[in-house]
């Protein structure tokens, strides 16, 4: 047990496995978070009820948050451990060095990872703690069951109507995509999965996954800025004119 | 051909080094890269200057002694080619060529372009062997080995230990080398008894030597003069994981 643990936290291969496991854990969170976010397209009732149901989880929510935090800590710890070792392994660099087949994404994992980290901090301050754009944070919404809850829908729509915020999110998500495009395929290799039978599939897995995730996340700010997702006033307006439409049809 | 060479000169392991430029002319396109350096060295000696130290031995692409980072690529721009097998016709007249030693803390420079690669020997000492009875040589085909396994082991055994994988890797990782050695034995019945112990010990030694970790960028596979596949690294990871989870 002692040797196993000593090896787990010292061996470059094992630290890499910790990095891959924690990375996949964070990817799991990314998928869950995305599923929730896409409820924006279902309108204020859907997303706000979802937000309330998360808060209703109480201690379970904190357990989940703790798990994600643990994944992040493990991932960043392993990135630091390996990064230190890797830098020490080449104290004097080359005057000329050309990558042969290493992609730019695979060579800039630390950079894209740190950007994602900075983004996560910003994003929490923005939409979890309401420290950024606080004017949109404390709006209320009355659910169909009469409960008054936090208006996530408006917070997001008002937030992204500011093009600076949309642009920032686009940039950060793009860097997340860079990270993911190498990460997922790389994690498979780290787990020892690489066989001519499916290596082509694995090579494409990371980049395809990255494109899909980034596009799905960005669909929200982009829909706000292009007016596909509107805030409350607009929605009531369209809803009313729709009712008008139905009435007109019925009259005919 | 006339060439301008920017070469790393360093008098000894502990001396400061620097890039020095040399002009060479009358180079035949049929010369190998090492022969071109021989010409440069003869002329330096005629002028009473110190010749450029570089490693070489077989000059036929099988020993792994030749090295050199040539214009930012190990063994130069040709794929699947050692420096001794690289010909000057792959360069053009008047070209400027940068020549540097392998750069890794585990491969200290001995002099100029020659580096000490005994870290690889110490990794091999940890597990690059099988246990066999002494006495008469066993019958060649006494142990049946599936063709597929023999092929994979043979591909891994093609590693000449030149260190190009370390030289090209952004982390100076020796994973392709270690994986090739582990696969070479681990794919054959004779290598089974030490299979799991071998990967643990060799990786431990590579870590102790100060090589970096693998980021799966796969430049090693592209730089390897013997085109050893990163599949062997996946297998090493697999064996390593199995050995640490289920081994004694
Ligand atoms: C919080 C800041 C982050 C940092 C500093 C970071 C850093 C890194 C680094 C440096 C690597 C490459 C390791 C190497 O080159 O050997 C890596 C790999 C990886 N990252 Fe991140 N990352 C971060 C966030 C994320 C996020 C948000 C995800 C999930 C979406 C993620 C998933 C992965 C995965 C799956 C790998 C592959 C592990 C492997 O190669 O086996 N990382 N990370
Ligand atoms: S000198 Fe032997 S491989 Fe080049």
- Tell me the pLDDT tens digit for each residue of B69-97: 999 999 999 999 999 999 999 999 999 99
Closest CA in chain A for residue B8: A95
Cβ atoms within 10 Å of A249's Cβ, excluding its own: 8
3-state SS assignment for residue A139: coil
pLDDT averaged over chain B? 96
Domains of chain B plus CATH, in order, are 3-111 (3.10.20.30), 118-246 (1.10.1060.10)
- What is the side-by-side order of every strand in the sheet holding B73-74? B18-24, B3-9, B96-100, B69-70, B73-74
Task: Quote the pLDDT of residue B215.
Answer: 98
From the list B105, B214, B237, the residue facing A88 with the nearest CB is B105
Per the structure, how many domains does chain A have? Answer: 1
Mean pLDDT value of segment A218-228 = 96
Task: Quote the pLDDT of residue A140.
Answer: 92
* Widest pairwise Cα distance in chain B: 64
Atom 24 in ligand 1: which residue has the minimum CA distance?
A113
The CA-based angle A115-A118-A119, given to 5 degrees, is 85
Task: Quote the pLDDT of residue A242.
Answer: 45
Q: Which residue in A94, A188, A202 has the most chain B C-beta atoms within 10 A of its own C-beta, making it the best mutation to test that interface? A: A94
Would you put residue B26 in left (φ > 0), alpha (ψ -120 to 50) or beta? left
% of chain B surpassing 90 pLDDT: 93
Distance from C-alpha of B81 to C-alpha of B62, rounded to nearest angstrom: 10
Cα-to-centroid distance, B204 and ligand 2 (Å): 28
Local structure of residue A138 (DSSP, 8 states):
S
- pTM for the model stands at 0.92
Nearest by Cα to A135 from A113, A151, A148 = A151
Domain-embedded: residue A6: no
CA distances from A50 to A33, A57, A78 (A): 11, 11, 34
Cβ atoms within 10 Å of B221's Cβ, excluding its own: 20
Q: Where are the alpha helices (DSSP H) in chain B?
A: 33-46, 118-127, 147-157, 164-168, 175-186, 195-209, 219-223, 231-246
Domain that holds residue A141: 12-91+103-251
Question: Does A241 lie at the interface with B, CB-CB under 8 angstroms?
Answer: no
**CB-based pocket (< 6 A), ligand 1:** A 16, 19-20, 23-24, 26-27, 30, 72, 75-76, 79, 82, 109-110, 113-114, 116-117, 179-180, 183-184, 186-187, 190; B 213, 215-216
Domain-embedded: residue A5: no
3-state SS assignment for residue A223: helix
Is residue B166's pLDDT more than 70?
yes
Tokens of A175: 């860097």
Please, which pLDDT band fits residue A230 given cuts at 50, 70 and 90? confident
Task: Quote the pLDDT of residue A229.
Answer: 92
Task: Quote the pLDDT of residue A189.
Answer: 98
User: Which residues are B96's β-sheet partners?
Assistant: B4
CATH number for position A159: 1.20.1300.10
List, for residues A42-51, the tens digit of each pLDDT value: 999 999 999 9
Domain-embedded: residue A228: yes
Domain-embedded: residue A19: yes
3-state SS assignment for residue B196: helix
> Judging by DSSP bridges, how do beta strands B109-111 and B69-70 pair with one another?
unpaired
Distance from C-alpha of A27 to C-alpha of A185, rounded to nearest angstrom: 13
Domain-embedded: residue A7: no
What phi and psi, each to the nearest 5 degrees, are found at residue A149? -135, 175
Listed by number, the residues of chain B in 146-175 with a beta carbon closer than 8 Å to a beta carbon of chain A are 168, 170-173
Q: How far is CA B209 from the centre of its chain?
A: 16
Is residue A231's pLDDT more than 90?
no
3-state SS assignment for residue A217: helix
Distance from C-alpha of A198 to C-alpha of A140, rounded to nearest angstrom: 51
Q: Where are the alpha helices (DSSP H) in A38-162?
A: 44-56, 59-88, 104-107, 109-123, 152-161
């Amino acid at each position: 047990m002692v040797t196993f643990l000593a090896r787990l936290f010292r061996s470059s291969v094992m630290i890499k496995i910790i990095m891959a496991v924690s990375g996949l854990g964070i990817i799991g969170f990314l998928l869950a978070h995305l599923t929730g976010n896409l409820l924006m397209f279902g309108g204020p009732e859907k997303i706000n009820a979802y937000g309330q149901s998360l808060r209703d989880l109480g201690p379970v929510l904190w357990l989940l948050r703790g798990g994600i935090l643990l994944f992040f800590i493990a991932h960043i710890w392993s990135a630091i451990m390996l990064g230190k070792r890797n830098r020490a392994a080449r104290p004097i660099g080359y005057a000329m060095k050309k990558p042969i087949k290493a992609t730019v994404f695979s060579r800039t994992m630390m950079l894209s990872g740190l950007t994602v980290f900075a983004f996560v901090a910003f994003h929490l301050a923005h939409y979890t703690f309401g420290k950024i754009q606080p004017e949109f944070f404390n709006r209320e919404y009355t659910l169909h069951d009469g409960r008054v809850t936090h208006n996530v829908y408006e917070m997001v729509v008002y937030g992204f109507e500011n093009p600076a915020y949309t642009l920032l999110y686009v940039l950060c998500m793009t860097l997340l995509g860079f990270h993911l495009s190498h990460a997922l395929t790389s994690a498979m290799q780290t787990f020892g999965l690489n066989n001519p039978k499916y290596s082509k599939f694995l090579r494409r897995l990371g980049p395809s996954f990255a494109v899909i995730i980034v596009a799905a996340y960005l669909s929200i700010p982009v829909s706000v800025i292009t007016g596909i997702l509107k805030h409350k006033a607009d929605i009531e307006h369209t809803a009313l004119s729709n009712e008008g439409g139905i009435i007109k049809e019925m009259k005919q | 051909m006339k060439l301008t060479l920017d070469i790393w000169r360093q008098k000894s392991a502990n001396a400061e080094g620097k890039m020095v430029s040399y002009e060479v002319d009358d180079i035949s396109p049929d010369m190998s890269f090492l022969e071109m350096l021989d010409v440069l060295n003869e002329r330096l000696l005629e002028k009473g200057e110190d010749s450029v130290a570089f490693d070489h031995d077989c000059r036929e692409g099988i020993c792994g002694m030749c090295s050199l980072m040539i214009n930012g690529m190990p063994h130069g721009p040709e794929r699947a080619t050692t420096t001794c097998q690289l010909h000057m016709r792959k360069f053009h007249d008047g070209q400027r060529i940068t020549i540097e030693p392998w750069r890794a803390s585990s491969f200290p420079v001995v002099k100029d372009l020659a580096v000490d690669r005994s870290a690889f020997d110490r990794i091999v000492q940890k597990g690059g062997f099988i246990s066999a009875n002494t006495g008469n040589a066993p019958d060649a085909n006494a142990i049946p080995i599936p063709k597929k396994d023999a092929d994979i082991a043979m591909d891994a055994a093609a590693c000449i230990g030149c260190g190009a994988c370390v030289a090209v890797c952004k982390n100076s990782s020796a994973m392709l080398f270690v994986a090739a050695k582990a696969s070479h034995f681990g794919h054959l019945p004779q290598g089974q008894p030490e299979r799991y112990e071998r990967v643990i010990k060799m990786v431990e030694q590579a870590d102790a030597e100060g090589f970096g970790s693998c980021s799966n960028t796969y430049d090693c596979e592209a730089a390897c003069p013997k085109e050893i596949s990163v599949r062997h690294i996946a297998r090493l990871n697999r064996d390593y994981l199995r050995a640490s989870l289920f081994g004694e």
